[in-house]
């Protein structure tokens, strides 16, 4: 093979390899590799409980339980709003909440906001489209 034939052959091989690699990448992306999950419909599987704070003048504490038997909840955001007030407080929980595990949120986590009956609590979690909302009951 002369130099012209070798050069043309090299170009053909490179073009073929490029197309094969592109096709392989597309195939793996579409069929073989897991894709990031989109938001789930509904709210996270959370159950709420309430108790008075251990310090009598500090309002109430909300218990947030992951009610799922198998799913770990990630990056929860707790937002509190009082009726008649425009301000809200929020607290981001970076710690993963394992199945059937729970955490508590009170005035310390909410930067001094004292939970009281009538306050509305909304909790969002990664991968869920809607928040889970509850109103703080009377003790």
| CATH code, domain carrying 131 | 2.60.40.10
pLDDT for residue 119: 96
Let me know whether 59 and 120 are in one domain: yes
Residue 40 lies in a domain: no
Output the furthest CA–CA distance in the chain (Å, rounded).
94
In which residue ranges of the chain is pLDDT below 50? 13, 21, 24
Tell the residue number behind the tokens 């009170």, with chain if given: 106
Question: How many domains does the structure of the chain reveal?
Answer: 2
Residue 31, phi then psi, degrees to nearest 5: -110, -35
Q: Is residue 110 within 8 Å of 67, Cβ to Cβ?
A: no
User: Are 106 and 130 part of one and the same domain?
Assistant: yes
11 and 68 belong to one structural domain: no
The reported pLDDT for the residue numbered 121 is 97
Same domain flag for 52 and 119: yes
- Report the pLDDT value the prediction gives residue 23, as an integer from 0 to 100: 54
């Amino acid at each position: 093979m002369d130099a012209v034939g070798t050069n043309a052959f090299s170009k053909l091989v490179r073009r073929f390899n490029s197309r094969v690699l592109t096709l392989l990448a597309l195939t793996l992306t579409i069929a073989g590799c897991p894709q990031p999950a989109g938001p789930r419909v509904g709210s996270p599987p959370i159950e709420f409980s309430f108790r008075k704070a251990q310090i009598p003048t500090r309002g109430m504490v909300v218990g947030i339980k992951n009610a799922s038997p198998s799913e770990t909840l990630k990056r929860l955001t707790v937002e509190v709003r009082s009726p008649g007030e425009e301000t809200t407080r929020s607290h981001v929980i970076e710690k993963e909440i394992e199945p059937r595990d729970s955490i508590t949120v009170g005035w310390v986590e909410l930067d001094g906001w004292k939970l009281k009956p009538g306050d509305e609590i909304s909790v969002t979690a990664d991968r869920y489209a809607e928040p889970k909302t509850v109103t703080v009951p009377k003790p």
